[in-house]
């Protein structure tokens, strides 16, 4: 369902769910849209529109049923059992990303890592086996992996991305600041540390 | 100038600049808005509107003068000499972020790190001295640091953020998936790895 959801909506749905996790061990069964708004710095219209898009309206008195909300967000943004994901580049950033994802509740699962460092190849890092990057063309189709997280040094970025696309990767989460040209049909999400820092630096001006 | 720029515009301006860096060592002096559009997957209206907001219009035949564009973006989004930044949490993620920022051309500068690990306190990591987190209340005002990058484990997040705000931090770039409530006047930028992965996973669906 809902293939027409815009990226920003999917991003916000994922955030609503993270936030609602906080209420898991409390007695609260409902949350008002006003509270969601306050906790996430969004407008009330935005929140109501997002939730109506996935077929939910709140009860006027009680607000949204938290369990129903979490369930419906899950049915919308988690397809089937989640995707197999390859982590490409096992430096500090790669290890940090691996730890984050292993600890989170996302259904997506890092099943394989790639690197070019002989000391890492064939090692297991947080239970994930690291392969030689030049084996990507065999391992990625074999394991049916559609998503790659790219945490390689900037200078290796473009050639690595092109190798991944040739191996059948259809979505890339790109952690380097390097711009990638990808063919249409490939989903590229740039996750740019420098841009975020510059935005923060800009807006703290008094 | 331009305090009214929306966050998304600042984010895009920073991206335009990253992209234009590629033309630094080439003979090309101009870039058409069509080319910017194609390289960044934006609409032509979006690009023209962003650049008009900072006072630039392209030449109909030649497009935008690259040097003028980079200069004007810099004068808009880099204030003065950039900010002093504290990096809070020197694990894998912290080290990766430090490396990224040191290698980049951003004017913002990580001048201090904080951690609670006795083995890291007083060490220098990539030329940055690490202090005991409990000294934040003295070091941050002393060094006049307005921005903090938070790369602590999720369970330490809320108490650390509150300590930073008490120490005078006005902008936080938050790398954990934990939601923070910050007072108005504080700029919080969430940089959420899980949300980005879920968005990528969603959109690769065929």
Both structure tokens of A204: 């703290």
Number of Cβ within a 10 Å radius of residue A45: 10
Which band of pLDDT confidence, cut at 50, 70 and 90, is reported for residue A1? Answer: very low
Picking from B104, B154, B187, the nearest residue to A203 by CB comes out as B187
Determine the distance in angstroms separating the CA of B110 from the nearest CA of chain A, rounded to an integer: 11
Q: Answer whether B183 touches A (CB < 8 Å).
A: no
In the beta sheet, which residues pair with residue B30? B65
Q: Does residue A172 carry a pLDDT above 50?
A: yes
Query: Phi first, then psi: what are they for A188, rounded to 5°?
Result: -115, 125
Furthest-apart CA atoms within chain B: distance in Å: 61
Return the residue in B2, B197, B204, B206 with the most chain A beta carbons within 10 A, the one to mutate for interface testing.
B197
Picking from A40, A96, A196, the nearest residue to B189 by CB comes out as A196
Asked if B121 and B90 touch (Cβ cutoff 8 Å), the reply is no
Q: Does residue A165 carry a pLDDT above 90?
A: yes
Q: Is A115 helix (H, G, I), strand (E, B) or coil?
A: strand
What is the 8-class DSSP label of residue A56?
-
Q: Answer whether B40 touches A (CB < 8 Å).
A: yes
Q: Does residue A202 carry a pLDDT above 60?
A: yes
pLDDT in tens, B46-84: 888 888 888 888 777 888 888 888 888 888 877 666 889
C-alpha distance across the termini of chain B, in Å: 45
Q: How much is the mean pLDDT over chain B?
A: 85
pLDDT in tens, A175-189: 877 778 888 888 888
pLDDT of residue A80: 60
Determine the distance in angstroms separating the CA of B83 from the nearest CA of chain A, rounded to an integer: 7
Instruction: Tell me the torsion sign for CA atoms B88, B92, B96, B99.
Output: positive
pLDDT of residue A102: 85
pLDDT by 10-residue block (mean), chain B, 206 residues: 69 83 77 79 82 82 85 78 90 89 84 96 94 96 95 87 94 84 85 80 69
Query: Phi first, then psi: what are they for A80, rounded to 5°?
Result: 45, -125
Which residues of A are less than 8 Å from B78 in CB distance? 198, 201
pLDDT of residue B56: 82
CA distance A125 to A201: 35
Find the residue in A nearest to B14 (Cα).
Answer: A195
pLDDT winner (highest mean) among A70-84, A92-106, A156-170, B177-191: A156-170
pLDDT of residue A95: 92
CB contact under 8 A, B93 and A91: no
Q: Is A206 helix (H, G, I), strand (E, B) or coil?
A: coil
pLDDT of residue B15: 82
ipTM of this predicted structure: 0.71
Q: Answer whether A35 touches B (CB < 8 Å).
A: no
Query: Phi first, then psi: what are they for B14, rounded to 5°?
Result: -65, -40
Find the residue in A nearest to B150 (Cα).
Answer: A197
Scan for tokens 């006072």, then name that residue.
B55
CB contact under 8 A, B197 and A173: yes
Q: Answer whether A3 touches B (CB < 8 Å).
A: yes
pLDDT in tens, A138-148: 999 999 999 99
What is the arithmetic mean of pLDDT over A162-186?
A: 88
Which residues of B are less than 8 Å from A82 in CB distance? 201
Q: Of the candidates A157, A188, A195, which has an alpha carbon nearest to the alpha carbon of residue A172?
A: A188
Q: How much is the mean pLDDT over chain A?
A: 85
Q: Of the candidates B149, B134, B135, B133, which has an alpha carbon nearest to the alpha carbon of residue B190?
A: B149
pLDDT of residue B69: 87
Return the HEC string of chain B.
CCCCCCHHHHHHHHHHHHHHHHHCCCCCCEECHHHHHHHHCCCHHHHHHHHHHCCCCCECCCEEEHHHHHHHHHHHHCCCCCCEEEEECCCHHHHHHHHHHHHCCCCCEEEEEEECCCCCCCCEECCEEEEEHHHHHHHHHHHCCCEEEECCCHHHHHHHHHHHHHCCCCEEEECCCCCCCCCCCCEEEECCHHHHHHHHHHHCCC
- In this prediction the pTM is 0.72
pLDDT in tens, A36-58: 877 777 778 888 888 888 888 87
Which residues of B are less than 8 Å from A152 in CB distance? none
Both structure tokens of B111: 């001048």
Q: Which residue has the higher pLDDT, A86 or A197?
A: A86
Q: Answer whether A154 touches B (CB < 8 Å).
A: yes
Q: Which residue has the higher pLDDT, A166 or A183?
A: A166
Q: Answer whether B106 touches A (CB < 8 Å).
A: yes
CA distance A89 to A113: 7
Which residues of A are less than 8 Å from B82 in CB distance? 201
């Amino acid at each position: 369902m809902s293939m027409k959801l815009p990226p920003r909506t999917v991003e916000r749905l994922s955030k609503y769910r993270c936030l609602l996790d906080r209420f898991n061990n409390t007695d609260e069964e409902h949350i008002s849209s006003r509270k969601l708004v306050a906790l996430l710095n969004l407008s009330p219209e935005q929140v109501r529109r997002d939730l109506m898009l996935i077929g939910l309206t709140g009860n006027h008195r009680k607000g949204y049923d938290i369990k129903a909300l979490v369930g419906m967000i899950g049915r919308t943004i988690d397809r089937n059992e989640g995707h197999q994901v390859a982590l490409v580049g096992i430096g500090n950033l790669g290890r940090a990303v691996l730890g984050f994802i292993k600890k989170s509740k996302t259904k997506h699962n890092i099943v394989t890592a790639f690197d070019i460092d002989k000391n890492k190849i064939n090692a297991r890092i947080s239970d994930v086996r690291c392969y030689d990057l030049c084996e990507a063309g065999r391992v990625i189709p074999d394991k049916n992996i559609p998503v790659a997280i790219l945490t390689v040094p900037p200078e290796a970025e473009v050639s690595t991305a092109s190798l991944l696309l040739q191996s059948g990767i259809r979505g890339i989460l790109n952690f380097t600041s390097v711009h990638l040209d990808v063919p249409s049909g490939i989903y590229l999400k740039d996750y740019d540390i420098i841009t975020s820092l510059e935005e923060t630096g800009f807006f703290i001006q008094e």
